[in-house]
Amino acid sequence: MRPLGFKAKSDTLFYRLTDKDVLHTVGFELSPIGFTCFVAIQPLYAYDHTVVFHYSFGARLSRFRTLQQEWWNYENTEDGLDEIEKLLIKNGMPWFDEFGSPEGIVRFINKKLGRRYGVNFDDDDIFLGFSYFYLGQIEKGKRCIREYFEGIADDAADFIFTYKNELVDLMNRITADNVHSILADIANANKNILKIC
């Protein structure tokens, strides 16, 4: 993974951080039946209620622009890893390069490319809104965050309402003059929590 610019977070999780605070992740899931691999994009400048390595904007590599076996068995580990490497170079790396930036995230979500890439995620309004903020398009960003609010059910968990209130406060503070400073603070806090500074 090093030749592709990734660092090891653990034996099964690799990441690279772009200069625009977007995290690219490649991870392996191990189970009794074998192993599989996923790829994901995570904008660290997006304010989230829970800061973890987020895999929602991604997919298993076996479903990513292709459909083939989900799991590789341990009996043929080397063959499985070779196949995963080929899939990563053929499908994963071009996806990171094309859509792993604020501009790319906006393009991916607006063009509704999730189905084509096997990506199905719930944070599109948040990721889109904060990517618009990053690009200086404040009103578009606020509109996306408001759309997220509309999707919150009346019986949602308490932490979701707390998160909503925090987002409202954040939106009220964001202006064209301070947006980059606020997003840099969010990204730095997220990097500290994830221990990737």
* pLDDT digit string, tens, across residues 134-177: 999 999 999 999 998 888 888 888 999 899 999 999 999 999 99
In a domain, 24, yes or no: yes
Helix pair 124-134, 102-110: axis angle to 10 deg = 140
In a domain, 196, yes or no: no
Instruction: Tell me the pLDDT tens digit for each residue of 38-72.
Output: 999 999 999 988 888 988 888 888 776 666 677 88
39 has which bridge partners? 26, 59
In a domain, 195, yes or no: no
Domain count, the chain: 1
Give residue 167's identity as a one-letter amino acid code: L
Whole domain around residue 138: which residue ranges? 2-189
Instruction: Tell me the pLDDT tens digit for each residue of 82-117.
Output: 988 888 999 899 999 999 999 999 999 999 888 888
Burial 129-150 (b: 16+ CB within 10 A, else e): bbbbbbbebbeebbebbeebee
In a domain, 78, yes or no: yes
In a domain, 197, yes or no: no
In a domain, 194, yes or no: no
In a domain, 83, yes or no: yes
Confidence (pTM)? 0.90
